[in-house]
Structure 1
Amino acid sequence: MTAKQTLAKRLRDTRHRRRMTLKEVERLSGFSSTHISEIERGRTSPTVKALVRIAEALAKDPCFFVESRELDDVSLVSGTAGGRPSGAREAPWMAPLSTGILGGRLRAYLARSEGPVEKPLEDLCGCDTCLYALAGSVRLQAGDEEFTLGPQESLHLRCAEAPILSVEEGPMELFVVAQPVAGLAPGRRSGS
């Protein structure tokens, strides 16, 4: 499905779910029902201004209509969804705590290691990051700086490059929250 078709389907489906007529969307958005119908049928694309006003009329974030993945307003991840990948006994593995939400950029992970390891955390590259040590002790090298976190200690920093996590002895458990920052190196999704 093309981007225009996806946008059209999401607009039409949202309007139908809200049980709104084209005339109601017209009244709330200020755009003609004919124009909205043309967008819903994929015959034309809305301007950014039109998309914002139509999205507001439908009580939806405009991002919903243009996101590559259809995301919900809420993300609920079961306790088994972030299960241990095969071969993750020694290396720190990061289980996602969220699948992402509509218009959201925040990422949350639980990092664990059962033994000594040193590994770059590629998912944190280009992010404003906060780490909280739940158990064990970890060393984090970010650029020229090095930090040590013990249980119940936290660190908040910007990571232009992937920070290197070192664990001298396990087990270690770390809660990680990251948000990409414009202008920093883009984060790579490597499945760390």
Structure 2
Amino acid sequence: MSDFPHSVVMDAVTIAPIPELIHYYPQSIAIATFILSIFGVISNIIVIIAIIVSPELRNRCYFLICYLAISDLICCIYYSILRILIFTYKYNMTNYECFMWSFIGLFAMNTQTGLTVMLGVDRFLAVSQPYKYRKWHSTYYIIAMIIPPNIYAFLITGYGFYEATDAFKVRKICWERDLLFAKKITQIVIEFEKYR
């Protein structure tokens, strides 16, 4: 029997297919997430257009929601690209190549995390300090709410760039979760394989 998990048995002879042409990622999940990503692209475009066009939606909270929708739009495009790479068997790459394919998507995901927190802070301030909230200058307030998530995203994504290397291959698939600590994970896997 071959060490390769997806080997094909034919006439008592085991033939291992080319590893680059095996889907490690379940196709049903890839198709479902691709469809959801396309739906996310369309939905976020609708949200962005609605906020830009409608005068009733031009306030601080909706500006933050629009910025969040832009970040989510970038993430949905990024997820679609990853699924296309899975469908075309182009996911067997080095950690550095995977990071370069994913840089903008990772930055947008990290921005989303910070923006979600800032939306919570915005709603808290609107409820707990309603009079002060209305008096604050909108431009400075929005800048103060957008800078921390972008700094957070820059630091986390920058750390991922620092950790990315050509020396290690991404195990199986270039996924967003594998990027930041792939070098350390690969080193641990190599150590465990020595003792198998």
**When the two structures are superposed, what TM-score results if normalisation uses the length of structure 1?**
0.26
**Bigger fraction of residues in helix:** 2
**When the two structures are superposed, what TM-score results if normalisation uses the length of structure 2?**
0.26
Greater RCO (Cα-Cα under 8 Å, separation 6 or more): 2
